[in-house]
Amino acid sequence: MKLKKFPIGAAIGAALLLVLPWAPAHAADVSTAQDGIALSNSYAGNSWRQQMLKMWSLASQRAVSRGIVAKTKVVNADNSAPQQASQIGDLTLEGWKAIVIDAASPTALNGVIQQACNAHIVVVVFDSLATAPCAYKVAYNYVDMGEMEANYVANKLGGKGNVLEVRGIAGTSVDNDIHQGIDQGFATYPGIKLVASVHGNWTQSIAQKEVAGILPTLPAVNAVVTQGGDGYGTYQAFKAAGRPTPLIIMGNRQDELALWKQLSAAPGGYPTFSLSSAPGVSSIAFWVAQQVLAGAKVPKTVNVPLLVIHQNNLGAWLKAVPEGGVSTPLYSQKWTQELIAANLSNSAPPASPIPNGVP
């Protein structure tokens, strides 16, 4: 089922540079001061996930220090759904009031999630979703992300050309949804041919290796559609092979943005754009769990807008994103309450923080 779309407005600010004001849960009247919220993360092997864990730590520890919740915990699986299921089972037995999950699989965790729900534990899934009906979902429209990439590439190529797809981690909902959107987007352009797909696992080094391995078998490649964390590695593979640099969609990592600026300095520039989810979504998921525990009215799916960076604000983003980082804010309790209210009323989301200089 396709998620509803939010209009993509102003870009959001840089990680670790922005800490928004904190406020009590005005829509809830139940204290969560004795409650604990745990995070189950399927994978921690790339810059996005590392930044996501930092954002969780900042949000949850601030909540603990202010007496909003009693404790927090993080467990990481090694990209293994069975391992993550076992860890979630342990968290259930430990009696956590809420478990927040970045899932290894859309379906493999559903049984253990239902067991947690049956034990009256609040379960919130985010980023890479699970489909268990009892879980609250903090969701990006990744199908829409794939369609945006496909439409941009098709327009820039005049509706004709060869495209390489660099995918994420196989079996995750994120990878499936972005791929679906790319397929749907290119379906209306018969002159566009997807010549190959590789899995870069949202990691520059893996993307570089996988693209380098397949390039000798490919014809001329005019563009590359990506999922984030793979644009820089893809460029390095083309460069090492001595092949012309195609149009590469970037994914909001600092190294990708720096590469984009470098390529743009050449005669003729380098037209592309950059988009991704923001790793600070983990702080939204934390506050959604807290709000449910506090008795606030929360929809079963809380939709979050994607972060899109264009050429006109590339410089401001580069100044704001730390080296090796990913563009993201730390979302506050108050901002999350406003996002929940927007979802309930089917209205535009609250304005997100942006780096200085971005209009």
pLDDT for 359 beyond 80: no
Res 28: pLDDT: 53
pLDDT in tens, 299-336: 999 999 898 999 998 998 898 888 989 998 899 999 99
| Secondary structure in 3-state letters for the chain | CCCCCCCCCCCCCCCCCCECCCCCCCCCCCCCCCCEEEEEECCCCCHHHHHHHHHHHHHHHHHHHCCCCCEEEEEECCCCHHHHHHHHHHHHHHCCCEEEEECCCCCCCHHHHHHHHHCCCEEEEECCCCCCCCCEEEECCHHHHHHHHHHHHHHHCCCCEEEEEEECCCCCHHHHHHHHHHHHHHCCCCCEEEEEEEECCCCHHHHHHHHHHHHHHCCCCCEEECCCCCHHHHHHHHHHCCCCCCEECECCEHHHHHHHHHHHCCCCCCCCCEEECCCCHHHHHHHHHHHHHCCCCCCCEEECCCEEECHHHHHHHHHHCCCCCECCCECCHHHHHHHHHHHHHCCCCCCCCCCCCCC
pLDDT for 29 beyond 70: no
Res 339: pLDDT: 97
Identical fold between 36-140+278-305+327-345 and 142-276:
yes
Under the banding of pLDDT at 50, 70 and 90, the label for residue 75 is very high
Under the banding of pLDDT at 50, 70 and 90, the label for residue 342 is very high
Instruction: Please state, for a pLDDT cut of 70, what percent of the chain lies above it.
Output: 90
pLDDT for 356 beyond 80: no
The domain limits of the chain are 36-140+278-305+327-345, 142-276
Average pLDDT, the chain: 90
For domain 142-276, the question of CATH label 3.30.60.50 is answered with: no
Under the banding of pLDDT at 50, 70 and 90, the label for residue 353 is low
Residue of higher predicted confidence among 175 and 28: 175
Res 143: pLDDT: 97
pLDDT for 175 beyond 70: yes
Res 322: pLDDT: 87
Under the banding of pLDDT at 50, 70 and 90, the label for residue 10 is very low
pLDDT for 30 beyond 80: yes
Res 316: pLDDT: 85
Q: Which CATH superfamily groups domain 36-140+278-305+327-345?
A: Response regulator (3.40.50.2300)
Res 25: pLDDT: 38
Res 355: pLDDT: 57
pLDDT for 3 beyond 60: no
